[in-house]
Structure 1
Amino acid sequence: MPQEIERKFLVTGEYKSQAYAQNHIVQGYISSARGRTVRVRIRDDKGYLTIKGASNESGTSRYEWEKEIPLNEAEELMRICEPGIIDKTRYLVRSGKHVFEVDEFYGGNDGLVVAEVELASEDEPFEKPAFIGREVTGDIRYYNSQLMKHPFNTWE
């Protein structure tokens, strides 16, 4: 079963000059039920359908299945998504032998910037770039499926 193992951090420093690639991402959720989400994503000019399972106790690992789908099908599926769309730019930054995905959010989540690093195991060591701040792995408020329901700019 495919597992996604990742850690998530707030971003507190400059990262754009270190990025080797960037993509515009718009995504919605057909289902955002806790423990099982079905996401539709348009990344630049490609469509994707992703199913994610419940996170483990630490919030580091969970089942993930993703398939590329035709762009027109992704656009059609976006029309039946739950209210609240995630709009962001993703920057890819190398650090040691890992790549950090830095997401800069827009709309109701404007001002939020988070970085994720995918790992082969939960205890795999990695080099933190200077722009990495507090770890928020396992804090469900920072899950995209929650940000679309409770945007960052509505938090107290």
Structure 2
Amino acid sequence: MQEIERKYLVLSEDFKKESFKNFSIKQGFLNTDPERTVRLRITGDQAFLTIKGKTSKNGLTRFEWEKKIDKKDAEALFDLCEPGIIEKTRYLVKVGDFVCEIDEFRGENKGLIVAEIELKKETDTFKKPGWLGEEVTGDIKYYNSQLSQNPYKNW
């Protein structure tokens, strides 16, 4: 399956008033090779194993495969993850016909807030909310796999 998304920095916490849902996420990486990342994620009582391929040249598209796994298995697999566990709160906000996922990072990435809008096709457009700032699509330093290795606090 192809994932098409745009990524932005968030200017203010105004999005929280528009959020229809939020939840905590803990994730680690079994592999952070740019050609293929293997991510482990726990959200509430659910866990997922995700494999992402190399990003296209414009930074918008890449292969993504995800499988739900047992939470106990996921907790055990965290022992095999590379150093740098990511913890964040994800907020969901409706933006036109799309859902914007806004991640407010904790721990070593505290202070960083990034929004992602998953599109159906690369040419899709939407009205940009006032709290959405600079586009960072394709800038690898904002990939969670990179934030696990070089956290925001070190920038």
- Confirm or deny a common fold (TM above 0.5): yes
Q: Which residue of 1 aligns with 2:11?
A: 12
5+ residue gaps in structure 1? Answer: none
Moved over 2 A (4+): none
Structure 1 position 47 matched with structure 2 position 47: yes
5+ residue gaps in structure 2? Answer: none
SS of 1:55's equivalent? coil
Offset at residue 125 of structure 1 (A)? 1.0
> Cα deviation per residue 1:11-30 (whole Å; 9 max; x = unaligned)?
00211111000110000000
Identical aligned pairs, as a percentage?
Answer: 52
Q: Which residue of 2 aligns with 1:151?
A: 151
SS of 1:52's equivalent? strand
Q: How does 1:44-123 map to 2 (within 5 A)?
A: 44-123=44-123
Cα RMSD (Å): 0.6
Q: Distance in 2 between matches of 1:39 and 1:3?
A: 16
Offset at residue 126 of structure 1 (A)? 1.3
Q: Distance in 2 between matches of 1:108 and 1:125?
A: 33
SS of 2:59's equivalent? coil
Question: Size of the alignment, in residue pairs?
Answer: 154
Q: Distance in 2 between matches of 1:11 and 1:74?
A: 30
SS of 1:125's equivalent? coil
SS of 1:20's equivalent? strand
Q: Distance in 2 between matches of 1:110 and 1:130?
A: 22
Offset at residue 60 of structure 1 (A)? 0.5
